[in-house]
């Protein structure tokens, strides 16, 4: 547990390799290593620092799925008490950035996340020979789903999944129907939707800004931030309007709108930056 706790703390501090974990551990004060589970040597009165080789061996022996189950159960026990509504769990798969296995295969995880608490309750590594569909039931087997609403994307709109959730686990499910279920999609499309009264409406706002591309011209409707602190700002229509680095240096982008192939098209006209004149843009950006 000591090596595992050291590794987790090092990764949270920014370590991205076993060597970086070992270097972080070596630079960590003895009281911190002791708090992470290190046992003080009675002869040297020091908390030993594991070597890179020792860390690599210990991590290689860990059953990742068993660790995920243990951490998920620990987090599930510490979730806030749900209110009067139903608890909701989302099932989704994501490929990890900066992590790969042999032959540069990216690690792809299937996870179950609590909607309200944003806590990962369980996750499994999707191997090369099996997809997300095969791991849907094993992923949820370790979670108490009684009375829970399970949501997922269209990939998991499967008859077996629905029967498993409703009949075996006494849960509810909300599914998305697309082209992978053609008969079901046709049946739903034939329903008299115009005659069905609206029971609920939810309206939300992303990044605190609400705008309509055809009516508003908000230059910073939403933004993305890279790990190095660089921020990219976009207008309501989705076009990049400015870039600000972590030193405050700003580049702004000016577009001109013309029609091309009978479609509204924006052309990048100028790039304005600190200490440089405006230069003509050469990149073509097309509108929807």
- Token readout for 63 is 């059953």
Q: What is the pLDDT of residue 104?
A: 60
Angle at 62 between CA 67 and CA 95, to 5 degrees: 65
**Exposure of 74 in the CB half-sphere (CA atoms within 13 A):** 6
DSSP string, 115-146: TTT--EEEEEE--TT--HHHHHHHHHTTS--T
- Token readout for 9 is 């703390």
- Token readout for 120 is 């990962």
CB-based contact 135:110 (threshold 8 Å) = yes
Q: What is the pLDDT of residue 285?
A: 40
50: burial class by Cβ within 10 Å (0-12, 13-18, 19+)?
buried
How confident is the prediction along the chain (288 residues), in pLDDT tens digits per residue? 889 988 888 888 888 889 999 998 888 888 888 888 888 888 887 888 899 999 999 888 988 878 877 887 887 777 766 666 788 999 998 887 655 555 566 788 899 998 888 888 888 888 766 789 999 999 999 888 999 999 999 999 999 999 999 999 999 999 999 888 889 989 988 989 888 887 776 665 555 555 655 555 556 777 888 877 788 888 877 788 888 887 778 888 888 888 777 777 778 888 887 644 444 444 444 443
End-to-end alpha carbon distance in the chain: 53
- Whether the model pTM is above 0.85: no
CB-based contact 145:169 (threshold 8 Å) = yes
| Alpha-carbon distance values, 277 to 59, 252, 272, 273, 280 (Å) | 53, 12, 7, 7, 10
DSSP 195: G
CA distance 134 to 141: 13
- What are the residues whose beta carbons fall under 8 Å from the beta carbon of 240, sequence distance 6 or more? 232, 233, 234, 253, 285
């Amino acid at each position: 547990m000591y090596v595992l706790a050291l590794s987790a703390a090092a990764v949270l501090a920014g370590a991205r390799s076993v060597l970086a974990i070992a270097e972080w551990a070596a630079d960590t004060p003895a009281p911190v290593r002791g708090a992470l589970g290190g046992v003080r040597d009675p002869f040297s009165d020091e908390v030993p620092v594991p070597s890179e080789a020792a860390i690599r061996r210990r991590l290689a022996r860990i059953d990742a799925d068993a660790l995920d189950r243990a951490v998920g159960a620990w987090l599930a026990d510490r979730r806030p008490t749900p209110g009067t509504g139903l608890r909701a769990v989302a099932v989704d798969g994501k490929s990890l950035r900066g992590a790969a296995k042999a032959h540069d295969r990216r690690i792809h995880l299937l996870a179950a996340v609590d909607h309200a608490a944003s806590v990962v309750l369980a996750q499994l590594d999707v191997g090369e020979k099996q997809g997300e569909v095969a791991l849907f039931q094993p992923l949820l087997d370790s979670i108490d789903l009684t009375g829970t609403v399970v949501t997922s994307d269209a990939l998991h709109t499967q008859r077996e999944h629905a029967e498993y959730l409703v009949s075996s686990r006494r849960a509810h499910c909300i599914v998305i129907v697309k082209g992978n279920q053609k008969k079901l999609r046709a049946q739903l499309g034939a329903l008299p939707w115009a005659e069905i009264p609206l029971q609920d409406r939810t309206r939300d706002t992303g990044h605190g800004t609400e705008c309509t591309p055809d009516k508003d011209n908000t230059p910073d409707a939403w933004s993305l931030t890279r790990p190095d602190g660089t921020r990219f700002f976009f207008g309501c229509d989705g076009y990049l309007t400015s870039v600000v680095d972590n030193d405050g240096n700003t580049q702004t982008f000016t577009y001109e709108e013309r029609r091309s192939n009978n479609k509204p098209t924006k052309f990048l006209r100028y790039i304005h930056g600190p200490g440089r004149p405006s230069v003509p843009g050469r990149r073509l950006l097309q509108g929807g």
